[in-house]
Amino acid sequence: MAPPDPPTACEVVLQNPGEYPEAAAVDLGPWLERLVAELAPEADSLTVRFTTEREMRRLNRTYRGKDYPTDVLSFPGEETPDGVHLGDVVICVPVARSQAARAGHEVGREIEVLMLHGVLHCLGYDHETDDGTMERLEATLRERWIEAGGSPRGDVVGEERDSDG
């Protein structure tokens, strides 16, 4: 009997129709693939779309009833005939630029923060309802994946996640 096939990497699709240079960084895709491999090894696909304030405002109004552009929206995925689609994350680059300027760091770092945040939502975490579970996990992961320059350090102590999304 042949050994099982090795696990395949999650296919990460980065959509950048506005051709934002910050979102075109060559290392964002591999960084996100490594992050998803650690947090959701069962995932087969994830899509991240970088968008304008106008499109983000429309999405935020449609899906959350809030009439303003936000920084990131997440749409958890599901199992499909092709495997497990982790979800879709939408990032508003102009809002990310503003937040990066206020925080005093690079836009690329802010995009990593927003991608991490979006992935956690796709995994079922919800900072609005979980009494701090997502915030604690996100702080740990930021330290390992962003503050450390994208190279994870140590093990994450797993915390329960809300499977209802």
List domains and CATH numbers for the chain: 11-147 (3.40.390.30)
Q: Read off the pLDDT of residues 82-119 as tens digits, 9 standing for 90 and up.
A: 899 999 999 999 999 999 999 999 999 999 999 999 99
The token pair at 4 is 């099982």
How many residues are given for the chain? 165
Rounded CA-CA distance 89/14 in Å is 10
Write the CB contacts of 92 (distance below 8 Å, at least 6 apart in sequence): 51, 52, 53, 55, 56, 69, 70, 71, 72
The token pair at 141 is 């992961």
Mean pLDDT of 44-51: 96
Q: Read off the pLDDT of residues 56-69 as tens digits, 9 standing for 90 and up.
A: 999 999 999 999 99
If you ran DSSP here, which 8-state letter would residue 10 be given?
P
- Say what the pTM is: 0.83
